[in-house]
Structure 1
């Protein structure tokens, strides 16, 4: 079976009449940038987290690392601005009739930044390196769990043998954690990497990485600028101030900055892109910690949250309330909307029925952005239901590893949209972001969804069955559906074309340029 593209999970999530395209809406006082991008320009883009290291297989948070990796590395596949799987280093791929082997054909003429060819032996070396790291990696393990072996079958062809069918493997291979590194630089990839993407590594500081255009990249039209500077600025207000003062050209605006987003939309000097996603603000629960191991207690926590008030009072009405893991698209079940309307009295009744008094919950949150805004509001709403939420702040780079290690009871964060919705299940419900482990029912339903063909009616049915189960007996507490907002000066081009920007908060900035 020949495969050219899969539709990713963010497709079909245009939820407001004002949104004219799933690739995003431009809101600005004047018209968007026109003209040819200046090939000598430098684009300065700010994200929420500073760089930690640059070896893709060593990532502990691929969403935070995505911008730093995707400018530098190509994978076999990628995800475009609309959430569609696209070919990068792979020209095509086939699934065998028995569904236990994928064959990838590489495009001609691609090279690493040290000019060595990107052939099947180099790709196999990368994938074998990732497989060796996967058992200790919460990021790689679910993506490569089905892979038994990787073999070079010709200079431009490789085969991936599976333990069991995995229709989502081409989507998993789009992960920035599986970008291709020159094998000669494996040992130095964390600090002085040699990559395969449209920009090559130039320098790194504590809060910034600088890249220069790679002139021999296989698609010469991709890199629009001479250089790209990606800086990590955790404080959202500081990012907006940097944009207004001219220190950066474009950045991410999280929902806690709704007033700033509105102001920039009315200013002709700036442009605002809004992309609906399937990301969901979520309170992650460790279900191995008593009494959170009791489904009645988890239901009580769901009733304790006032989703409408959070969206309207804190987020400018921009975060659509939901109590489902998939707010729209595959896996969404309309009849389950408002299953957990705010009801503190009901929460108290459920806690009493579970035999729980004076419930105390230890939680962690990010000391920046949306999580920082949500945490005190959740704490106050829990208190109304008789729940004492004790909160500790941590850095964006540390928060998921800390929760995955099993320490806190609760994490204020978000389910990140995935290129394949089955990956949402693998990561958030039966994988690393559910350290308490899944029940056999949930595991079986997740397996059924993961193993059915992508974009099939069977996959949609399986995802909906999973949703029904985790709403009836919740694992986490879902709050609201998160759109992505990107803001930039009126001279920045390509903001509506950034790969991954309808999927994850942090985009691939390879499409950006600057008009003269």
Structure 2
């Protein structure tokens, strides 16, 4: 503890230099947060990056949202109905909604937003494959016609994680989904101050004084989104020790991820509140790029599943067993679809089996390019743990270090290794994002339409379709287990355990809501 205290003392000396913008903001109430990543991409449809999702929840609104019991509730929608044949859905927007530029929110805007989102998001793609008509009969009505009944309509429209179906003006939603938007006009409780955005330094949001919240109490990501501060500033502090020092000195009001080694020190501080806002937790994953050698060969990817030891990743990145659990299920442990079927002997460091599979595959020593994020608390030791495990099994590994936002940009490129390509990267998903085969982005195996890594497997897609059509829970679970078995034969990613993230709220801030994502609209500043 003495060593940590000395490190924080040194860090405290640097705070003033790193936070020249930390002076009080006149008479406004200003909430200052230091989050897990810098914001460099403001398009939550183009990227699945968590920091951009957090940005999205401040700026945009959604048709539906999950409450604190993970139940789907209407948000921008007032009423909705489904036809007797379950093929036509009609959604009526609530009154009084406007975009940040003053224009009214219309159904045409929402239809354009759904189409752009549906071209990128895993659940959106699957829903849109069943849609024969998506239209706006009038300014307040969205009409969706399906070719056959689909059991996941509301859960898809209310999904809480990337890519979230955020609504945008039609003029912005007309942007090609593979091109980043540059205009962050939304209808949410805060307005993005683009002129004050300084990547590598700070992001600023102002209270949307024209926002009309729902009448229900705030609950999770649903209910009345009441902006209780005038201004939010995200201050980018890349060093975790300096982040904690700033919190303890009341220079920031919130840290979304408290590093395990600094948690005991923060817990001792009077008035600092530690909470796990996402009780369902998150799942670590290693994602394969199947476009290039060596991971174009499923057997080589199978070797990885045997070579990795899940517990080592959890110990190195979380540390405290109070906040993690080993889980060999593709779907979260504790959820209805939890099952280790097909994965019982994986992720335990079976070097001999990994070597056998590499030999059978004829692995020729092609290096694995592992992208290693260096600046994301709780994630910056994932690639460094994987490297020796893979090398022990016989892989040649090229570990390339970079900040997370650089990785986010690079993972979208399909370039060969000689032109800056990649073999695998590490990330995590909220448990609510990986609850089933349709929701789990890394199980999307629709080739060019799949997310970064571009997995391509007709059998997986057939099973995902079957799950989407099924309504019987027992039969859904049976299909999910078939997905697990197929993902052993055709690995798309390696699940590396579950964890929870402790968040710290400063002495002057209250009202942070339990939620699958960071919801700052209910937070007050003394």
Specify which of 259, 263, 266 is matched with residue 265 of structure 2.
263
1:249 aligned partner: 253
Task: Indicate the SS of the match to 1:283.
Answer: strand
Label 1:309 to 1:190 Cα distance change in 2 as closer, same or farther (>3 A): closer
Task: Indicate the SS of the match to 1:372.
Answer: coil
Label 1:194 to 1:313 Cα distance change in 2 as closer, same or farther (>3 A): closer
Task: Indicate the SS of the match to 1:481.
Answer: strand
Specify which of 362, 380, 393 is matched with residue 401 of structure 2.
393
TM-score (norm 1): 0.79
2:137 aligned partner: 153
Distance 1:151 1:65 in 2: 28
Label 1:324 to 1:487 Cα distance change in 2 as closer, same or farther (>3 A): same
Specify which of 197, 200, 204 is matched with residue 191 of structure 2.
200
Specify which of 285, 289, 295 is matched with residue 286 of structure 1.
289
2:16 aligned partner: none
Label 1:474 to 1:123 Cα distance change in 2 as closer, same or farther (>3 A): same
For 1:330-479, list aligned pairs within 5 A. Answer: 330-334=336-340, 338-340=344-346, 341-356=348-363, 358=365, 360-369=367-376, 370-406=378-414, 407-419=421-433, 421-430=436-445, 432-433=450-451, 435-453=453-471, 456-471=473-488, 473-479=490-496
Task: Indicate the SS of the match to 2:487.
Answer: helix
Provide structure 2 residue ranges, at least 5 long, that are not aligned to the other structure.
1-26, 215-223, 415-420
1:32 aligned partner: none
How many Å apart are 1:472 and its aligned residue? 5.5
Deviations 1:333-389 (A, max 9, x none): 155564212221222122223333546312212232233211111111112222221
How many Å apart are 1:301 and its aligned residue? 1.1
> How many residues were matched structurally?
464
How many Å apart are 1:436 and its aligned residue? 4.4
More strand by share: 1
Deviations 1:136-170 (A, max 9, x none): 78897566444443322344322122355443333
Matched, 1:211 2:209: no
Matched, 1:45 2:33: yes
How many Å apart are 1:437 and its aligned residue? 2.6
Distance 2:191 2:452 in 1: 36
Task: Indicate the SS of the match to 2:34.
Answer: strand
Label 1:339 to 1:433 Cα distance change in 2 as closer, same or farther (>3 A): farther
For 1:162-241, list aligned pairs within 5 A. Answer: 162-163=146-147, 165-174=149-158, 177-182=164-169, 193-203=184-194, 204-207=196-199, 208-219=202-213, 222-241=226-245
Distance 2:81 2:478 in 1: 25
* Larger RCO (CA within 8 A; separation ≥ 6): 1
Label 1:145 to 1:500 Cα distance change in 2 as closer, same or farther (>3 A): farther
Distance 2:78 2:311 in 1: 46
Deviations 1:452-484 (A, max 9, x none): 34x844433322331233246533222111323
How many Å apart are 1:513 and its aligned residue? 1.6
Q: Is the 8 A contact 2:35 2:257 kept in 1?
A: no
How many Å apart are 1:89 and its aligned residue? 0.5
1:320 aligned partner: 325
Q: Is the 8 A contact 1:298 1:474 kept in 2?
A: yes
Distance 1:424 1:337 in 2: 20
How many Å apart are 1:76 and its aligned residue? 0.8
Specify which of 95, 114, 122 is matched with residue 108 of structure 1.
95
How many Å apart are 1:54 and its aligned residue? 4.2
Label 1:465 to 1:231 Cα distance change in 2 as closer, same or farther (>3 A): farther
How many Å apart are 1:498 and its aligned residue? 4.7
Label 1:169 to 1:365 Cα distance change in 2 as closer, same or farther (>3 A): farther
Label 1:147 to 1:402 Cα distance change in 2 as closer, same or farther (>3 A): farther
Q: CA RMSD in A?
A: 3.3
Distance 2:431 2:280 in 1: 7
Label 1:462 to 1:265 Cα distance change in 2 as closer, same or farther (>3 A): farther
1:300 aligned partner: 303
Task: Indicate the SS of the match to 1:490.
Answer: coil
Label 1:124 to 1:444 Cα distance change in 2 as closer, same or farther (>3 A): same
How many Å apart are 1:101 and its aligned residue? 2.5
Q: Is the 8 A contact 1:403 1:433 kept in 2?
A: no
Label 1:412 to 1:184 Cα distance change in 2 as closer, same or farther (>3 A): closer
Task: Indicate the SS of the match to 1:111.
Answer: coil
Specify which of 476, 497, 500 is matched with residue 516 of structure 2.
500
Distance 1:55 1:413 in 2: 19
Label 1:351 to 1:74 Cα distance change in 2 as closer, same or farther (>3 A): same
